[in-house]
Amino acid sequence: MRNILSEPTPTELHGRLKFTVEQFVECQDVEGKDILDIGCGYGFFELWAARNGVRHITGIDMTDADLQTASRHVRFPNVVFRQGSAIEVPLETASCDTVVSWEVIEHIPKNTEPIMFHEVSRVLRPKGVFYLSTPNRTLRAILGDPTYWMINHRHYSLDFFEKLAGQAGFRVVKHAVKAGYGEILDAWNLYVSKWIFRRDRFLKAKSQALTDCDYARERGFNTLFVKFQKIQDGSGA
């Protein structure tokens, strides 16, 4: 993830990141566990996990340059950053209890989602869990996504993941669809301010508060969160 503003790893979380660690991820899947984070970005999840009892966590991203921010700001003996991808994970078979991947699957090469799930299954121990978040496949979410208009950003439905899970030896444990226009406005603010003006968000505190309010609502349409569990025998039953 290119850090054009030289931003540090965030320590104060808002919106999607705050919901991820405070409400969606379950403590028993972090405390005392070996975790893999696919597409770790600036390392927000590694920092949070290191402070919340993780046994060991490995964050991977595509290039050493992508890992610079996380490596510089997240320094714990039980946190490691390595180069790797969702479809070629540099970890041993059955080496993890939990795998997470936040806003990554939509960026991997098209039609390689089954390969990603195969790699996640490979590195997970029996009955291990896999968490992901991704843009939700609804018309409002698609039309409101700035990256859809720039790069035809992919969106996914729960039905897609239920079918993929069955084929890959997983089952869906739980899911949530959160946020809406507040998150969309914050995303446009981020992309315009960062990529055009090379600066932080306009009215940053208000924009972040808007996403916090958006995620406080019970339901939304913009972002899909899914937790899977690996089926021990891999049969899909």
- Write down the mean pLDDT value for the chain: 95
The whole-number average pLDDT for the span 207-234 is 93
Contact 200, 5 (CB under 8 A): yes
Q: Is residue 37 part of a domain?
A: yes
What CATH number did the domain enclosing 112 receive?
3.40.50.150
pLDDT of 6 reads: 87
The whole-number average pLDDT for the span 108-121 is 98
pLDDT of 234 reads: 45
pLDDT of 126 reads: 96
pLDDT surpasses 60 at 233: no
Question: pLDDT tens digits for 131-150?
Answer: 999 999 999 999 999 999 98
Domain coverage including residue 160: 15-136+154-178+223-228
Q: Is residue 45 part of a domain?
A: yes
Q: Is residue 202 part of a domain?
A: no
Using pLDDT thresholds of 50, 70 and 90, give the confidence band for residue 232: low
Question: pLDDT tens digits for 147-196?
Answer: 999 888 999 999 999 999 999 999 999 999 999 999 999 999 999 999 89
pLDDT of 235 reads: 40
Q: Is residue 5 part of a domain?
A: no
Q: Is residue 125 part of a domain?
A: yes
Q: Is residue 3 part of a domain?
A: no
CA 155, CA 35: separation in Å to the nearest integer? 26
pLDDT of 1 reads: 62
Selection from 87, 105, 50 nearest residue 228 by Cα: 105
3-state class of 140 per DSSP?
helix
Q: Is residue 170 part of a domain?
A: yes
The whole-number average pLDDT for the span 111-128 is 98
**Domain count within the chain:** 1
Residue the block writes with tokens 């603010």: 189
Question: pLDDT tens digits for 60-95?
Answer: 999 999 999 999 999 999 999 999 999 999 999 999
pLDDT of 181 reads: 98
pLDDT surpasses 50 at 236: no
With a CB cutoff of 8 Å and minimum separation 6, the contacts of 39 are 60, 61, 86, 101, 102, 103, 104, 107
Q: What's the pTM?
A: 0.96
CA 97, CA 81: separation in Å to the nearest integer? 17
Q: Is residue 122 part of a domain?
A: yes
pLDDT surpasses 60 at 237: no
Using pLDDT thresholds of 50, 70 and 90, give the confidence band for residue 5: confident
